Amino acid sequence: MWKLLILVVTALAAVGDTPNQRDDSAPDGNNPARATTKPSGSRSDDARYVLGPDDQLNIWGLDIEEISGRPVHLDASGELKVPLIGRIRAAGMTISELEEVLTARLSVYVQEPQIVVTLAEYRSQPVSVLGAVNNPGSHQLRGRKTVAEVLALAGGVKSDAGSWVRLTRRGDQGDIPHARAAKDADGHFTYATLNMSSITDAKDQADNIIVRPHDILTIPRAELVYVIGEVHKAGGFVLNERESMSVLQALAMAGGLNPTASAAHAKILRTDVSGNSRKEVPVNIGRMMSGKTPDVPLMSEDILIVPGSKMKKVATRSVEAAIQAVTGLVIWRR
């Protein structure tokens, strides 16, 4: 037992000395650009990890110099080549299972072999996260991960993220277990649209499904409507799960009209069906606010323009000048 303990300690201590822990900027002709370095984690976590093609391992065997400390990797077919033993199909095994297989094979050459296998690099279980996340790109799964956990790996969603997540899965990874899942025309991929708030707020675990290797998560940016002109807070406002927002709702989000606004001469700029030009839709905000005409819905990417009234601006400047004059007179008399 003490020999095994010494072996485990030696193996774990040596992980820091493996080529994968060196500065990636250093040239290494035998070790080209690496996909992902081994993240920190416990030995028990690694023991449950399911191996796949391109994963890299370190193997230590007590009193077996032929294999001890030598890095090996699974090839594209999921096999690895081990001195004394030859080729082993390791894809689909956990670390613990591989240790058992190596122990059984080496028992032909060594009495009661004691083997420790550690992961040097995770490469076989990539998942792509694209769109409105803080760290888009490829990330490695370590065990079972839900959509929410993978989004966390990608740094979380941005403030302008949309209200849904599109999950795409290769056919060889099985179908997506979701009521809204569908296949593409060729049957090579399955895709599903998942509700973002259900995932992030834990409202419905049916949307927070388990992600599989090679899945693609796409998070679109939110659809917006824009309000500019004589309002207190011009800008873009997120539609979230709504398909439209009314003019009065957008004005409320923009803080309301300025005193100099010409409410009767507002207009909406809306992209036409072809997407090549915009058309103008006149709106009388004053009549809407008084209930004389119905509120008008704004669609995604609409721009509500509230112009200023020249008369109101002149009147406002006159009032401001009068106030300044009176204030100056009061100060002078003091």
Q: Where residue 36 falls among pLDDT bands split at 50, 70, 90?
A: very low
Task: Please state the rounded mean pLDDT for residues 5-23.
Answer: 42
β-bridge mates for residue 211, sequence order = 145
In terms of Cα–Cα distance, which of 292, 282, 298 is closest to 248? 298
Task: Walk me through the domains of the chain, giving residue ranges and CATH numbers.
Answer: 2-121 (3.30.1950.10), 126-219 (3.10.560.10), 225-312 (3.10.560.10)
Q: Is the pLDDT of residue 21 over 50?
A: no
pLDDT tops 80 at residue 51 = yes
Which segments of the chain does DSSP mark as H helices, in order? Answer: 2-14, 43-47, 95-106, 147-153, 196-200, 247-253, 285-289, 310-333
DSSP state of 157: B
Residue 324 above 60 pLDDT? no
Q: How confident is the model at residue 282 (pLDDT cuts 50, 70, 90)?
A: very high
Which residues, at least 6 apart from 128, have a Cβ–Cβ distance to it below 8 Å?
Answer: 137, 138, 139, 215, 216, 217
**pLDDT reading at 327 higher than 60:** no
Q: Is the pLDDT of residue 331 over 70?
A: no
pLDDT at 46: 62
Q: Which pLDDT band holds residue 9 (cuts at 50, 70, 90)? A: very low
Tokens 């439209």 locate to 244
**Is there a contact between 59 and 117 (Cβ–Cβ < 8 Å)?**
yes
Tens of pLDDT, residue by residue over 116-127, are 888 777 777 889
Report the pLDDT averaged over residues 4-28.
41
pLDDT value, residue 149: 92
Count Cα atoms within 13 angstroms, Cβ side, for 133.
25
Q: What is the pLDDT of residues 67-107, one digit of tens each?
A: 777 778 788 888 888 888 888 898 888 888 888 988 888 88
Q: In the chain, what percentage of residues exceed pLDDT 70?
A: 76
Q: Quick: pLDDT tens for 190-204.
A: 999 998 888 887 767
The pTM of the full predicted model, rounded to 2 decimals, is 0.57
Question: Which pLDDT score, from 0 to 100, does residue 47 have?
Answer: 64
